């Protein structure tokens, strides 16, 4: 009996897993592929082409009023579906798509006093994560996905594995955070030892490393720096302890901003923006900041140079005259 051919979205998922795409990208691409199919009355994508793709993307921009980045993500998902899964690359779409407008926004930045006020409202591991976002310039998921082996206390460095664009980079471990983080890890180690005694203690390992290193998932080096409070059962039936959920930090920071009485729509990412801005304010060269942030192009880092053009430095307001 010939086995049934897997469904299209299952094929797409399998191809992305083989290519080591992140789970977030995988979820986003599958979502857009599903919405594309539903938009066209559940027609199979193989029966459609550039015209239907353009119609869907125009619908997103005109009717749903999505942002430019959202529309571009949907386009990337469909290009991947046709090019890598269906082996039917799309032709030129230039001129067929109504592009969503990209607003030119300056990053929201907190002052040093505001950052201090926010961090004081956080407690325990949440405060430590916030300190890493601001003190090391990490993205939220980069901080939450840190493993024990990524923190080097001797050299005061943190290694970010597979950051945005699948790139590794090294950033600083703040001097003032070294000892609190060391004490935190002692508590995490006790939690891990308890899990092992109970027959658990394994974590998810990327890229089939669990098959290559059968005991690696339970080793101390691979444990998360910020483990979740509870173990969960994964798709393969294994009960594991994952890292702290990002929603936990996002809600905690929002509450901290309100409690600090700050009238800005600050978020976890605002702490990273503040890290870059404050380094430039202190005279750090932009190339170094680029490397610490993990930006591919220095032009991305240039958005923080607005702090070097503060209004009032060279021009005096007539009100002050």
- At 30 the pLDDT is 95
The residue from 34, 84, 161, 164 that is catalytic is 164
Q: Which class is domain 112-306? A: mainly alpha
The residue from 126, 241, 243, 295 that is catalytic is 295
Q: pLDDT by residue (tens digit) across 164-207? A: 666 789 999 999 999 999 999 999 999 999 999 999 988 888 76
The residue from 169, 218, 255, 269 that is catalytic is 269
Task: Enumerate residues 6+ apart whose C-beta is below 8 A from 120.
Answer: 260
**295 has catalytic annotation:** yes
**pTM over 0.95, yes/no:** no
- For domain 8-85, the question of CATH label 1.10.150.130 is answered with yes
More confident of the two residues 74 and 310: 74
The residue from 139, 161, 184, 255 that is catalytic is 139
Where do the domains of the chain lie? Answer: 8-85, 112-306
**269 has catalytic annotation:** yes
With a cut of 90, say whether residue 226 has pLDDT above it.
yes
With a cut of 60, say whether residue 21 has pLDDT above it.
yes
The residue from 29, 80, 224, 304 that is catalytic is 304
**304 has catalytic annotation:** yes
The residue from 240, 243, 272, 273 that is catalytic is 272
């Amino acid at each position: 009996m010939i086995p049934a051919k897997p469904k299209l979205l299952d094929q797409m998922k399998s191809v992305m897993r083989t290519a080591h795409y992140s789970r977030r990208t995988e979820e986003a691409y599958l979502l857009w592929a599903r919405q594309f199919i539903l938009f066209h009355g559940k027609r199979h994508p193989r029966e459609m082409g550039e015209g239907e793709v353009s119609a869907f993307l125009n619908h997103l921009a005109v009717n749903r009023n999505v942002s430019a980045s959202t529309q571009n993500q949907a386009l990337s998902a469909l290009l991947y579906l046709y090019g890598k899964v269906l082996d039917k690359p799309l032709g030129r779409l230039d001129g067929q798509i109504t592009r969503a407008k990209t607003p030119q926004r300056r990053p929201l930045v907190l002052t040093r006093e505001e950052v201090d006020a926010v961090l004081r409202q956080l407690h325990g591991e949440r405060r430590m994560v916030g300190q890493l976002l601001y003190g090391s310039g990490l993205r939220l998921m980069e901080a939450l996905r840190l493993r024990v082996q990524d923190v080097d206390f001797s050299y005061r460095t943190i290694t970010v594995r597979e950051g945005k664009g699948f790139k590794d980079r090294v950033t600083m471990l703040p001097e003032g955070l070294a000892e609190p983080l060391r004490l935190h890890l002692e508590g995490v180690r006790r939690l891990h030892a308890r899990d092992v005694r109970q027959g658990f203690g394994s974590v998810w390992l990327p890229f089939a490393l669990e098959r290559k290193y059968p005991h690696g998932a339970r080793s101390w080096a691979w444990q998360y720096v910020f483990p979740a409070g509870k173990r969960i059962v994964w798709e393969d039936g294994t009960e594991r302890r994952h890292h702290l959920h990002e929603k936990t930090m996002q809600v905690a920071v929002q509450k901290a901003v309100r409690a600090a009485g700050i009238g800005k729509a600050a978020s976890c990412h605002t702490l990273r923006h503040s890290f870059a801005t404050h380094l430039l304010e202190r005279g750090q060269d932009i190339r170094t900041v680029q490397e610490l942030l993990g930006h591919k192009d220095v032009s991305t880092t240039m958005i923080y140079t607005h702090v070097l053009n503060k209004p009032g430095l060279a021009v005096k307001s007539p009100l002050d005259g």
